[in-house]
Amino acid sequence: MDFDVKFGNCPIYYTISKIEGKWKWVILYKLHKCKVIRYNRLWDELKPIAHRTLSRQLKELEADGLVHREQYNEIPPRVEYSLTLVGETLAPILELMSEWGAEQLSNAQFQHDG
């Protein structure tokens, strides 16, 4: 049976298909925390991500309606990113992922030290 036929209506599969990849969750979390961020600042905070990868991930998130891109016609050009209203609905999940990760890192450090 085809995977999409079997799992196409699964909400978890749908969510993962929209936000899959190594960087998308981190990008969304940074946008959630910063509210509005310029491209270069986002890239600085996410290094070692490649420019090409960041650009592609942002375009995909924008196409999926999760990220808003605002370009200002200035010299030099200024581009800012923020979460859309739909993107903001992920905030509770992002916060829970951050809390879970912090707990696990703390536990791993405690086990390593102990």
Asked, as a colleague might, if the bond just before 76 is cis with ω within 30 of 0, I would say yes
Tokens of 47: 């290094």
Q: What DSSP line would sit under 47-79, residue for residue?
A: TTS-HHHHHHHHHHHHHTTSEEEEEE--SS-EE
Q: Residue 1 above 60 pLDDT?
A: no
Q: What is the pLDDT, as a whole number, of residue 13?
A: 84
Query: Among 94, 24, 22, 91, which residue's Cα sits nearest to residue 57?
Result: 24
Q: Residue 73 above 80 pLDDT?
A: yes
From residue 46, how far is each of 51, 67, 76, 77, 83 by CA, in Å? 10, 17, 22, 21, 17
Q: What is the pLDDT, as a whole number, of residue 3?
A: 61
Architecture of domain 22-113 in CATH?
Orthogonal Bundle (1.10)
Indicate the residue type of 96: L
- The pTM assigned to this predicted structure is 0.85
Tokens of 84: 């859309």
Q: Which of 27-31, 67-71, 104-108 has the lowest mean pLDDT?
A: 104-108
DSSP 3-state of 62? helix
pLDDT tens sequence across 13-63: 888 888 988 899 999 999 999 999 999 999 999 999 999 999 999 999 999
